[in-house]
Amino acid sequence: MSASSRRGVDVGALVEQARDGSPRAVARLVSMVEDASPALREVAATLAPHTGHAYVVGLTGSPGVGKSTSTNALVGAVRARGLRVGVLAVDPSSPFSGGALLGDRVRMQEHATDAGVFIRSMASRGHLGGLSWGTPQAIRVLDGAGCDVILVETVGVGQAEIEIASLADTTIVLLAPGMGDGIQAAKAGILEIADVFVVNKADRDGAQSTVRDLQGMLGLGGRYADDAHWRPPIVKTVAARNEGVDDVLAAIDAHRAWLEKTGGLRSRRRERAAREVEAIAVAALRARIGDLRGGVALDSLADQILDGKLDPYAAADALLAETSD
């Protein structure tokens, strides 16, 4: 009997239920990720043979550009192809409870009864990068549960909130006219992470000006002058009326085909897996150091630094040696 079974969690049965389309089983697995359940290692091991099939699309952009509305429209377009869709909507954490505000789930109610769609809001809990710390593992759960496409909607975009690019196969950056988004895109560095630009609310004045600004920025430096670099297309949409959504899906398809042709898809996924392993290893190391904090070893090293007997690098080496024992 596995350790998780002894604790009353039959991970194998839970994964099978998730793969059979049980939203409750998927929800429970994602909750285990968010809560850092002791059974998480067994969950990951059980899911591993079933992962690697879902295509991950990230959506990011400034607050108010229509990320949730665009995500909702994309869910409908993907479902029209008969594919299973998973949505991870990372909400800002409540400063009082630490929980997600759950706004995205409210806005996507039209898909709530569709068995082919799983929607989950996750609290960022103060984590920088626009994502929840458990997002990579939650993506793995949805992948293993049989989702063909996973849409990850981030909190927002800014200097520190471009982490989605390391998790997604295709990253969509949404902008809207009249919000200064063209200039903001350059300042935030999101020109580098976008695989597809979407100018939403294109029925408003200034939409074409925003498109021209983006085209001008993309033309700087000649980065996209050859076939070795993907040139992000710029798509205009009015997501609230489902206008231009099929064009966005076509742009995602084109980027996926380019990635598969150039070998970039496997390269991106390898980098994603490497980051995930690194994050888990660093978290484990921090936990071990936390166990030593306030202990004799760490206090002694700190005293030796203060007394000039040891430099911080040598102290760090000594601490790492202590944690590896």
In a domain, 297, yes or no: yes
Instruction: Answer whether 93's CB lies under 8 Å from 125's CB.
Output: yes
Could you give the CA distance from residue 11 to residue 120 in angstroms, rounded to a whole number?
A: 20
* Angle (nearest 5°) at CA 116 between 112 and 120: 50
For residues 287 and 187, membership in a common domain is answered with no
In angstroms, the CA 64 to CA 176 distance is: 8
Please tell me the predicted confidence (pLDDT) of residue 95: 38
Residue 269 within a domain? no
87-117 confidence digits (pLDDT tens):
998 865 443 334 444 444 455 667 777 889 9
Whether 188 maps to a domain, the answer reads: yes
Same-domain pairing of 255 and 290: no
Give the range among 33-37, 96-100, 191-195 with minimum mean pLDDT.
96-100
Q: Looking at the structure, do residues 303 and 189 belong to the same domain, yes or no?
A: no
**139 and 258: one domain?**
yes
Asked if residue 318 and residue 181 are part of one domain, the reply reads: no
Among candidate residues 56, 111, 66, the one with its CA nearest the CA of residue 88:
56
Alpha helices by DSSP H, listed for 154-244, are 181-188, 207-219
Name the least confident of 134-143, 246-255, 314-323: 314-323
Residues 95 and 189 in one domain: yes
Q: How confident is the model at residue 216, as a pLDDT?
A: 85
Element (H, E) at 141: helix 135-144
Contact at 8 Å (CB) between 133 and 142? no
Concatenating the DSSP letter of every residue in 114-126 gives -TTEEEEEEE-TT
- What is the span of the domain harbouring residue 29? 1-50
Q: Comparing C-alpha atoms, which of 167, 149, 141 is closest to residue 75?
A: 149
Give me the pLDDT at residue 127, please.
Answer: 47
pLDDT, position 93: 46
The reply to whether 146 and 103 lie within a common domain is: yes
List pLDDT tens digits, range 237-279: 999 999 999 999 999 999 999 999 999 999 999 998 898 888 8
Whether pLDDT at 11 is above 80: yes
Q: Residue 267: inside a domain, yes or no?
A: no
Same domain, 82 and 220: yes
Order of all β-strands in the sheet with 55-61 = 117-123, 85-91, 149-153, 55-61, 170-175, 196-199, 234-236
Q: Is residue 4 part of a domain?
A: yes
224 band by pLDDT with thresholds 50, 70 and 90: low
Same domain for 207 and 95? yes
> How many domains would you assign to the chain?
3
Residues 215, 313 within the same domain? no
95 located within any domain: yes
Residues 34 and 64 in one domain: no
What DSSP string describes 89-138? EEEPBPTTT--B--HHHHHTGGGTT-TTEEEEEEE-TT-TTSS-TTHHHH
Map tokens 């849409």 to a residue.
151
d(CA 173, CA 42): 35
Query: What pLDDT does residue 62 have?
Result: 82
pLDDT band at 220 (very low <50, low <70, confident <90, very high): confident
Query: Considering the chain, what is the average pLDDT of its residues?
Result: 82
Q: What is the pLDDT of residues 265-316, one digit of tens each?
A: 999 999 988 988 888 888 888 877 776 665 667 888 889 999 999 999 999 8
82: left (phi over 0), alpha (psi -120 to 50) or beta: left
Out of 235, 262, 289, pick the residue that ends a domain. 262
Which of 116-120, 133-137, 313-317 bottoms out in mean pLDDT, i.e. has the lowest? Answer: 133-137
Distance CA 307, CA 89 (A): 50
pLDDT at res. 219: 79
The band of 192, judged by pLDDT with boundaries at 50, 70 and 90, is confident
Whether 57 is covered by a domain: the verdict is yes
pLDDT at 293: 62
| Structural domain contains residue 268 | no
Question: What pLDDT score does 237 carry?
Answer: 97
Mean pLDDT of 26-33: 92
Nearest CA-CA partner of 85 in 26, 138, 135, 147:
147
Residue type, 107: R
**Residue 175 pLDDT more than 50?**
yes
- Among residues 234, 194, 187, 240, which one has the least CA distance to residue 210? 234
Q: In terms of pLDDT, which residue wins out, 3 or 270?
A: 270
> How many angstroms separate the CA atoms of 273 and 48, rounded?
12
Residue that is written with structure tokens 């970039």 in the block: 264
Examine the domain organization and report whether 124 and 4 are in the same domain. Answer: no
Least confident of 63-72, 134-143, 154-163, 297-306: 154-163
